[in-house]
Amino acid sequence: MRTMLSLLLFLLASAAFTQEQSINLPLFDAEGKDLFVVYNPRDAGIVVSKESGSGAVTVLAEPGAPGSQTFGKIMAREGFFDPALQEANARGLTPVDFLLRIRYAGQDFPRLTAYTSFAEGKLYPPFLRLQDGEHEYSFGGKRNLSLLKGFQFRPAAGLRFTITGARLTLKPSDQAKKIPVELGDVWKTQELLPDQDSPLVDFHRRPGMAVDAGPEKVFSASLRWEKDRLLLQAQAHFPEPPRAQITVPDREVWQDDSMEIFFSPQMDNDRFLQFAINAKGCVMDYRREYCEVACAIRNKTEFNLEHTPDISYQAPTLQWKLAFPWAALPFAPAKDRMMSFQLVQNCHRQGLSSVCWSPSTRNIFPWTFGLLYFNQQPFGAGALQYKQIFLEEPSDTLYVELEYNPELSGSPVELLLVAPDKSTRREKLSLAPELRVPGVKNLNGFYTLTLVLQKGDNIKPFAVNFTHRRPILLPYAQKQLFPTPKECTWNEGSFPAAKYNRLQLPENASERTRLTAKIFAGKLLGYTGRRYEETGSGNGISLAIDPAGLKPEGYRLSVKPDAVQITGADEPGLFYGCISFIQLLKMDMRSSADAPAPCCEVLDWPDLPIRLAPFWHPNNIPQHAGTPLKEAATVDFLLTFLDAFVVGNKMNSVRLRGLETLLPLDDIHPNLNWSPEKRYYSEEDLRRLGQFCRDHFIKLTIGFSAGGHDAWIRPLSPDLRERGWRGTGNVAHPDYEKYYFAVADKFIRATQCEYFSPISDEWWANSVAGEVPTDEDHAAKFLNFHLHLYEFLRQRGVKMAICEDMLNPLHNGARFNNHLNTDKLPKDITILVWANIGNAVKYFSDKGFPVWGSVTGWKEFPNRDGVTGFGANLYQFGREYAFRVNHSFVYHSHWFQGANYAWNFHREGANWSISDALSSGLLTVQESWAAQPPNPAASHRIETIPLAGLNCAMPEVRGGSRSIMNVPTEIPAAELNCVRILPESATLVPASGKYASLIFLHTAFPGENYRRNLPPRPSWRQWHIAFPIAVYTAVYADWSEVQIPIRLSHQIYFYNHQPQAGSTVFGRYMDITYNQEFQPQILYQYEWVNPHPEKEIKLIKLANPHQFDFDTRVFAISGRLPASF
């Protein structure tokens, strides 16, 4: 029964619509004053008083005037509930209970007279008897808590109790709520008829990245629908011969005076075909579509679009005539009827830039394309206009309000809806003033809606973009361990971890157990401020190993008000039990003086023996050897990152690639040491990495590419590239193995890694035009290299892991029949499955190989038999790979979801949708908790630091004092209410205090030209942690300084761009409000731990010394006081 209950709770917590939410009610204001008022009438028979401290309010009632029938009372200040009720309403939630947490010492169960008051002016007395210890008491009853205004106590004489917390519990509103969307651009359309020229009109100039609404006369074009092909004819005005400097195919042809054409038959805002051609006929083309290797949409540049060009220039006119076979697109106009399309003429003469058919700020955004539609006869009159669009919750019904010609009423209409996740929905409807479509995907983000009118056999589409913004639910008050435990019962009360200092170990504890205790004590210091010492007796936290009733790597955690018992089935299990206890401490989000850990009983174990954290470390590549490195991701940063997000999520395997470009290799060969100034890792760093992994039960896999993607080794000699292939190494060359193995040996000796991987993906993927591949047996070269490497690793006691794609006949293994090598490889090689194409898990496990899932992009395995490990890939420390991608921080969230999936791999019926996990807020909260840094000097006392140098007005941000995630915050209430950090200038904020940490409330805006002013694409390789947009500096009284880097997506993000993944990688909290149009306004809370809490901070400097065009704004700074000062 207990297991079934835990499973039910897990399933309920997995989806947003079943989840009960909570909002904590602060007991203190931003200045640290409690939010209670005492009232004692003159000559009161009972006198009430209060004491505040340690985050709680103690109430005392004493006898007053003898014989008096009047009494004192304590009540909440006016407006106590207002912020929470406003937040609940904005999130579409209804309050169902008001809970007060009260601590009382005594066994007499005294009655406490209490009242709640409501907007209609009534008082309601809940019946309340206090119990011994700390408990939550309900004040809700069956009242309409949306009208809640206040509460008060009228205690009896001699009563003493302490209020330690308050919260509202909420549920999704039973009432339907129609949320208006933000209507965007209406798509341009063009009708094409068989064998007729269709002129494209109203081209738009694009000076820089802006759109000019006026028609252009320097370019004209027409399309013609012929039986087997699409014919494009165009004329461009060039007084001088057009520039055509690019002569190598698939290079930057768009930089010439070229024509770019975009086709998207899929119409899903994601997949398309780009074709660029210059005046000499040189072509750059690719197809953006799903890549089975990367498990994601990517640009396939190996694609070549069939076409017939006829280009001529006679001053001042450049004539284009291009024909594309329908089969090459592929598209059947008489059947498919619609296609997204864009046409761009690039002009690079001074004062004139590109012109495009459909207004656009960037060519490659398919949601800015236009629509071509194909009819046998002209559609004729008939138009409709979008008035408003709503998404109703909780039914997820789309409402579309329209205006149109009356004679069209009742006409057949087809609806095509593209959701933010690029999925599509089609419905056949009848035209009406209001269309309703139930059960649509209700996501944050960008949609495209197309309504296709039908008149006989002819059609006419009307498309519009819109943005939908749902409130992100952030259930910080909901207790939850991560990964989700098999069994967990939450009990009343808490263990005050800061009041104890003993770790009890058995007398016969092993050295490994003592190491676990040492690591655990270090973490306890960071989150309680107390130094725990090993002991054999006494109250505190007891550690033990006892396999009885536990599965491998499992643990039992028992937290009671006066003791904690952590029992592991084995050494790893004990370690994971300790990690779960640290998670309990992080839930408080207050740094409370007692460091309370909620009382609970947990029984847990992992389903898979390998919980993988695949990680591609920021690296260097030879093509960008001249690009200077501006920020290194040192081993200290790496170990901190792994501790927070790998150890903290109970993952036990890291697959790390990219370090081969960061370690000096001149002792092996000078040519391997290209870009020596950017090789900031040392062998000592590698030794520290290996030791960290062993200490924390992490199996380390070192990987660097062989064969495919092996650019790091090919600078050794031009002969190390296989002829005919752009990105494949010649592993048969005698120097290849010699130097590859030498580098591998260097890494193995330093790290003592348990696994090594040559990656081995995507061999022979990109051919080189004009080069004829050799006649060698390519499959034999692949096999021989891997057999040699296997033996090399076996002699060193290291296991081998390789990617599956080149061995899978349904993936890339068909190339040169390489899949026939599978049965010739030793069966103890671990196969890393990226995409599970053709059920690769079963294919390889049936052959006897150990199989780990190592997915790129979130992907579940429908058939889980044969899987022994699982993880989701992380790139670049979880930051954006490029600016403003569709799903910000998505890989960071994948790591978390992968950890939970691997731990609970065999749990039936669980909802593993990452979209649901993010929308529910559960995953976002876990990410914030995991990001909390240790701070042994921290106290619960926080004071605001007044901002100076206010220079920017944002009236939509509410000023005044308030508590934001338990942090007293003072946002200036003046007209100028924030500091805008301008380039090449600095704002100095006086501080004059000792602080354990500084807490910033800030946000960012992209500058008008931030994309255009960025360096070329390799710029992200200059910053190995994340893109820096500001630097804050703590200036101490002795004038020493510590810089606080502020990086996009790590500590801050954009003000009005709501990422699906919630907060930032190292963010503490995301404060979201919504304007009248329901657009999000987001301020990001980030807590920086001061490495010198004993020193007075004199000034805080806010500056932006970097090249990136960003606008950072700071609204508040708070300082957490040290516990010992």
Q: Give residue 1042's domain range.
A: 938-1122
What's the CATH code of the domain at 1056? 2.60.120
Determine, yes or no, domain membership for 657. yes
Q: For the chain, how many structural domains are there in total? A: 6
Structure tokens at 582: 């640290």
**Helix 922-931 vs helix 571-586: crossing angle, to nearest 10:** 100
623 pLDDT more than 80: no
Structure tokens at 1003: 């946000």
Which alpha helices (H) appear in 503-619, and where do they start and end? Answer: 511-528, 571-586
**Tally of CB atoms within 10 A around 463:** 24
1071 pLDDT more than 80: yes
Among 11-15, 512-516, 915-919, the range with the most confident prediction by mean pLDDT is 512-516
Q: 107-123 burial, b for 16+ CB within 10 Å, e for fewer?
A: eeebebbbbbbbeeeee
Instruction: Report the alpha-carbon distance of residue 525 to residue 996 in Å, rounded.
Output: 14
Do 763 and 785 share a structural domain?
yes
Q: What is the mean pLDDT of residues 184-212?
A: 84
pLDDT band at 120 (very low <50, low <70, confident <90, very high): low
1010 pLDDT more than 60: no
Which of 803 and 52 is assigned the larger pLDDT? Answer: 803
Do 235 and 118 share a structural domain?
no
Determine, yes or no, domain membership for 929. no
- Strand segments, DSSP code E, in 727-829 are 755-759, 799-803
What's the CATH code of the domain at 815? 3.20.20.80
Average pLDDT, the chain: 88
pLDDT band at 15 (very low <50, low <70, confident <90, very high): very low
Instruction: Report the alpha-carbon distance of residue 723 to residue 231 in Å, rounded.
Output: 38
Handedness of CA 91, 93, 95, 96 (dihedral sign): negative
Do 1109 and 991 share a structural domain?
yes
Which of 1081 and 496 is assigned the larger pLDDT? Answer: 496
DSSP-based helix, strand, coil % in the chain, nearest 5? 20, 40, 40
DSSP 280-304: T--EEEEEEEEETTTTEEEEETT--
Do 637 and 500 share a structural domain?
no
Q: State residue 683 phi and psi, 5-degree precision.
A: -65, -30
pLDDT band at 1013 (very low <50, low <70, confident <90, very high): very low
Do 632 and 720 share a structural domain?
yes
**CB proximity list for 841: less than 8 A, separation 6 or greater:** 833, 851, 853, 861, 863, 864, 865, 866, 867
Q: What is the pLDDT of residues 777-789, one digit of tens each?
A: 999 999 999 999 9
Do 450 and 424 share a structural domain?
yes
- Burial environment of residue 1102 by CB neighbours within 10 A (0 to 12, 13 to 18, 19 or more): buried
How many helices (DSSP H) and strands (DSSP E) are in the chain?
Answer: 13, 62
Instruction: Report the alpha-carbon distance of residue 55 to residue 594 in Å, rounded.
Output: 10
Determine, yes or no, domain membership for 826. yes
pLDDT on residue 60? 93
What's the CATH code of the domain at 99? 2.60.120.430
Alpha-carbon separation of residue 782 from 170, 740, 761, 799 (angstroms): 59, 14, 11, 18
Do 619 and 567 share a structural domain?
no
175 pLDDT more than 70: no
As a three-state string, the secondary structure of 355-375 is EECCCCCCCCCHHHCEEEEEC
pLDDT on residue 1? 33
Percent of the chain with pLDDT over 90: 58
Determine, yes or no, domain membership for 880. no
Q: What is the mean pLDDT of residues 480-500?
A: 95
Least confident of 435-449, 497-511, 1041-1055: 435-449
Q: Looking up tokens 């847990």, which residue turns up?
A: 604
Which of 349 and 424 is assigned the larger pLDDT? Answer: 424
Determine, yes or no, domain membership for 922. no
Do 223 and 147 share a structural domain?
no
297 pLDDT more than 70: no
Q: What is the mean pLDDT of residues 469-473?
A: 68
Domain boundary among 114, 138, 173: 173
pTM score:
0.75
Least confident of 200-209, 566-575, 944-953: 200-209
Q: What is the pLDDT of residues 254-283, one digit of tens each?
A: 878 999 999 999 999 989 999 999 999 999
**Secondary structure of residue 196 in the 3-state scheme:** coil
Q: What is the pLDDT of residues 93-104, one digit of tens each?
A: 788 888 899 999
pLDDT on residue 1124? 72
Domain boundary among 854, 872, 890: 872
Looking from the CA of 975 toward its CB, the CA atoms found within 13 Å total: 0
Which of 292 and 380 is assigned the larger pLDDT? Answer: 380
Q: What is the mean pLDDT of residues 739-749?
A: 98
**CB proximity list for 182: less than 8 A, separation 6 or greater:** 466, 467, 468, 469, 1077, 1078, 1079
Determine, yes or no, domain membership for 714. yes
CA-based end-to-end distance of the chain: 51
Do 648 and 566 share a structural domain?
no
pLDDT band at 882 (very low <50, low <70, confident <90, very high): very low
Q: What is the pLDDT of residues 668-712, one digit of tens each?
A: 999 999 999 999 999 999 999 999 999 999 999 999 999 999 999
pLDDT band at 439 (very low <50, low <70, confident <90, very high): confident
Q: State residue 684 phi and psi, 5-degree precision.
A: -65, -40
Domain boundary among 124, 140, 173: 173
Handedness of CA 280, 283, 284, 288 (dihedral sign): positive
Q: What H or E segment, with its residue span, contains residue 534? A: strand 533-535
Q: What H or E segment, with its residue span, contains residue 781? A: helix 778-795
293 pLDDT more than 80: no
Structure tokens at 898: 């992968």
Determine, yes or no, domain membership for 480. no
Comparing C-alpha atoms, which of 542, 534, 537, 553 is closest to residue 495? 542
Do 651 and 524 share a structural domain?
no
Q: What is the pLDDT of residues 521-569, one digit of tens each?
A: 999 999 999 999 998 777 899 999 999 999 999 999 999 999 999 999 9
pLDDT on residue 887? 39
∠ CA 103-106-109, rounded to 5° = 90
Do 657 and 574 share a structural domain?
no
**CB proximity list for 795: less than 8 A, separation 6 or greater:** none
Q: What is the mean pLDDT of residues 40-44?
A: 84
Is the CB of residue 572 less than 8 Å from the CB of residue 554? no
Q: What is the pLDDT of residues 700-738, one digit of tens each?
A: 999 999 999 999 999 999 999 999 888 899 999 999 999
Do 1111 and 1033 share a structural domain?
yes
Instruction: Report the alpha-carbon distance of residue 1012 to residue 1029 in Å, rounded.
Output: 16
pLDDT on residue 442? 85
